[in-house]
Amino acid sequence: MSVTHARAEPSIAGVGDYLELMKPRVMSLVVFTALVGLLIAPGHVHPVIGATALLCIAVGAGAAGALNMWYDADIDARMGRTAARPIPAGRLAPGEALAFGLTLAVGSVVVLGLLVNVVAAALLAGTIAFYVVVYTMWLKRLTPQNIVIGGAAGALPPAIGWAAATGSLAFEPVILFLIIFFWTPPHFWALSLFRCADYARAGIPMLPVVAGERETRRQILLYALILAPLGAAPWLLGYAGARYGVVALVAGAAMIAFALRLRAEAPDATANKHAASKRLFGFSILYLFLLFAMLLVDHTAAVLAGHLA
């Protein structure tokens, strides 16, 4: 038996390629939701400890992104949206991405455990493992429910932020988790509607590829109907004030309206075929940002009012 030892070419990967591996846009949403979880938690967290927690959560999210790009390099190469990523574009070797991702994953969890607390570190470790192993390696290529179940990883950052501040969990971060969890399917299915050909070419069983556009639009509406009242739950349960409640109800109603328009849109072959799905996709990002920003505004206003009183 002959064994060929291929000598690796010296790397030409720049710092920017490594930063791109960390999916900075996803990371920004993770950091923002974690920040809200951290700040609305009861008690006081020292700014340095809070910033350290956010840094670790950001790096942990980047590690998950890098490991995802390492494992999915083959399907990334077949999709227009992802073909220019560092590995399929040939700027970075898969082994480099794997080593980078593992180093950041271990480093972020260890530093969070040492400098903040063990509960937050355990949650971060679980989130990274869930995203990489359960979503990327297992569900993504197996079932159209991939992003439904895998969405749990993206929904955990507010809980990690809360745990970083308090050292424990409560019902309130669970509500925040549920909001992001039920937000994920309409968000990603709207994307997959106008990227359906890409996903089909890559062999990823996204819902529109497997069950068709009509069924996808129906399920987006169902999730929007669950999401709207869930978005208002922090106000209904007394965790947030009327300011938040009004914004959550209006934004939730808009989300349902966008989903209804998407459901009503005829799946014909006109040039503007995916206008409704693109609008819903764009609004879904604004929706999540609005809800979490309002939680922060509401909490800050309540704290200021308390100080003044």
What is the distance between the alpha carbons of residues 206 and 193, in angstroms, rounded to a whole number? 9
Report the nearest approach of other proteins to the CB of residue 92 (Å): 10
Stretch of 48-56, 77-85, 228-236, 275-283 contacting other proteins, by CB under 8 A: 48-56
Stretch of 11-19, 24-32, 66-74, 214-222 contacting other proteins, by CB under 8 A: 11-19
What is the residue whose two structure tokens read 């764009």? 282
User: Considering the rule CB under 8 A, would residue 238 count as an interface residue with other proteins?
Assistant: no
Stretch of 42-50, 136-144, 182-190, 250-258 contacting other proteins, by CB under 8 A: 42-50
- For residue 278, what are the contacts with CB-CB under 8 A and spacing of at least 6? 190, 194
Report the nearest approach of other proteins to the CB of residue 282 (Å): 34
Q: Which is nearer to other proteins, 47 or 238 (CB)?
A: 47
Report the nearest approach of other proteins to the CB of residue 156 (Å): 19
Contact 256, 222 (CB under 8 A): no
Contact 39, 299 (CB under 8 A): yes
Q: Which is nearer to other proteins, 44 or 309 (CB)?
A: 44
Nearest 5 degrees, angle CA 111-CA 114-CA 116? 90
User: Considering the rule CB under 8 A, would residue 114 count as an interface residue with other proteins?
Assistant: yes
Residues between 162 and 201 with contacts to other proteins, criterion CB under 8 A = 167
- C-alpha 10, offset from chain centre: 34
- The only residue of 48, 269, 271, 308 in contact with other proteins, by rule CB under 8 A: 48
What is the distance between the alpha carbons of residues 295 and 37, in angstroms, rounded to a whole number? 9
What is the distance between the alpha carbons of residues 158 and 36, in angstroms, rounded to a whole number? 7
Question: For 22-138, where are the alpha helices, taking DSSP H only?
Answer: 24-40, 47-71, 73-76, 94-115, 118-129
User: Considering the rule CB under 8 A, would residue 111 count as an interface residue with other proteins?
Assistant: yes
Stretch of 74-82, 110-118, 130-138, 212-220 contacting other proteins, by CB under 8 A: 110-118
Nearest 5 degrees, angle CA 268-CA 274-CA 275? 120
User: Considering the rule CB under 8 A, would residue 237 count as an interface residue with other proteins?
Assistant: no
Query: Which residues of the shown chain bind other proteins in the complex (CB under 8 A)?
Result: 10-15, 18, 46, 48-49, 52, 55, 111, 113-115, 117-119, 167
